[in-house]
Amino acid sequence: MKVRVVADAPAGAFITVRLVFKDQRSELVPPPTKGEFSGAVGTLLADRSAATLYVGLGERSKLDAAAVRRALGSAALALRKRSQTYVLLQLEELPQFVSAAVEGVVLGGYRYEAFLPKKTAPLAELVVVQAKADVAGAKKAAARGQSLGEAVNAAREIANTPGNLLYPETLAAAAAALAKKSDLRFRVLDERALKAGKFGGILAVGGGSARGPRLMALEHAGGRKGEAPLVLVGKAITFDTGGISIKPAAGMEEMIFDKCGGMAVLGAMQAIAELGLKRNVVGILAAAENMPSGTAYRPGDIVTMRSGTTVEIVNTDAEGRMVLGDALAWACQEYKAAQLIDLATLTGACGVALGDSAAGLWSNDDSFRSQVEVAALESGERLWPMPIFPEHSEQIRSQVAALKNSGGRLGGACTAAAFLKAFVGETPWAHLDIAYTAHQSKDAHGLAGGATGFGVRTLVRLAANGV
């Protein structure tokens, strides 16, 4: 999509989008009838002439970037479905929200259609109208919003790709292509290299699949040589059957989204490179397919991890922490991470605790936790702080090894976090469980159904704020 910022609206076959606060409803001519248009965030009213689309912006007093992003997301979603691809956005009154507005249109205009028999046309052009004095600043803001939105969509496109097409090897090819395009250094460890490096966790999980695991890194060298990097780590299980501890059939198709932590890292690295952030950032993806087979790991196995820590397998479906444990240890050893953050669709228990409107946040460092919270708040992605009590760590102690890979049902999201904590040493670390925020079953919140790209925006902010 082409994005332009102008002071005078051009002529042409544009549909005009106007944002309307709740209290402005009565000013519309003719005023909407009751029930026709509430003005709540993201509600839509198509003008009788169909040349204007009114978009609810909710309560004036509650206005923030998230409301603007969501409102324009649902507008863009509707416009794409109606094949109205030339969009004019009157935004003179809200110059401070240009970036969020463009982000919203880019995000809402995305749908996964690779295999649909009838495709819709993507939005062709967005013209943002601003007061003359605001045009220059708005151009920069629009460019930022667009590149962030596009990075999120890049993450969503790969995340939406199913397991028959996307597996560790093809994911590594996609990541390599993205790295090349974005001028990032790319490294990949294949099965041989993983064996040589004794990545016991990744090898155990990947062992059941005919398609071997991969560990990859994308490096952004924006800072001084030798400056310790911020390291982003993502769980990228390309499909999670549960392995020998197999999952029930109902809903298993959703496990194509078990790679979304990794996809968030990929999207963030694309944006970090494009924004040219002046610091060193490394993105690591731990990719494997969790399958049951004659070569699969099994309950009762004892696995020696990359760090040397031994793990008793009590449930092969607790695979995310196995690949992440190795990836986190590698981030500390290989990259001497200054700060470390991982994202993972790690536990159903996180959804039980928080629902699907917030990701859980765990950390071993109060100051780093605050930095992550600030970044999330600024980007409109909701996180909620969760504990790691000594009891959670005790719950995953094994009789036959240092750790076991599941502590059972109680506090399942917290014991998973406690497991990860054992692999980061003293490095300031945060963990985001995005199991229920990474994808949605239908169009909602100004985003099409499927992968949401949750986490990309928080990661980019986190990296940008630290400069």
Catalytic residues: 247, 321
Residue (348 or 466) nearer to Mn ion, CB: 348
State the nearest-atom distance from the C-beta of 403 to ligand BES, in Å: 13
Range 313-352, binding ligand BES (CB under 6 A) = 315, 317-320, 345-349
Is 414 an interacting residue with respect to ligand BES (CB under 6 A)? no
Nearest CA to 168 among 137, 132, 199, 123?
Answer: 199
The site that binds ligand BES (CB under 6 A) totals a number of residues, namely: 15
- Distance, C-alpha 105 to centroid of its chain: 17
Answer with the entry of ligand BES, Mn ion, Zn ion, none that 412 interacts with (C-beta below 5 to 8 A by kind).
ligand BES
Range 182-241, binding ligand BES (CB under 6 A) = 240
State the nearest-atom distance from the C-beta of 239 to Mn ion, in Å: 10
CA pair distance 111, 160, nearest whole angstrom: 10
Residue (162 or 308) nearer to Zn ion, CB: 162
CB distance 313 to 321 below 8 Å: no
CA pair distance 162, 450, nearest whole angstrom: 11
CB distance 342 to 432 below 8 Å: yes
Answer with the entry of Zn ion, Mn ion, ligand BES, none that 347 interacts with (C-beta below 5 to 8 A by kind).
ligand BES
State the nearest-atom distance from the C-beta of 266 to ligand BES, in Å: 18
CA pair distance 16, 396, nearest whole angstrom: 57
CA pair distance 448, 384, nearest whole angstrom: 24
The answer for residues whose C-beta is within 8 angstroms of residue 385's C-beta and 6 or more apart is 361, 362, 363, 369, 373
Cα→Cα distances 227→35, 157, 223, 281, 336, Å: 58, 33, 7, 10, 10
State the nearest-atom distance from the C-beta of 196 to ligand BES, in Å: 27
Given candidates 134, 240, 381, 433, which one binds Mn ion under the rule CB under 5 A?
240
Residue (1 or 349) nearer to Mn ion, CB: 349
C-alpha angle 123/356/395, rounded to 5°? 140
The answer for residues whose C-beta is within 8 angstroms of residue 187's C-beta and 6 or more apart is 216, 217, 219
Answer with the entry of ligand BES, Mn ion, Zn ion, none that 134 interacts with (C-beta below 5 to 8 A by kind).
none
Answer with the entry of ligand BES, Mn ion, Zn ion, none that 24 interacts with (C-beta below 5 to 8 A by kind).
none
Nearest CA to 359 among 457, 431, 434?
Answer: 434
State the nearest-atom distance from the C-beta of 431 to ligand BES, in Å: 14
The site that binds Mn ion (CB under 5 A) totals a number of residues, namely: 3
Residue (103 or 319) nearer to ligand BES, CB: 319
Residue 161: both structure tokens together? 């790709």
Binding site for Mn ion (CB under 5 A): 240, 317, 319
Binding site for ligand BES (CB under 6 A): 240, 258, 315, 317-320, 345-349, 406, 412, 435
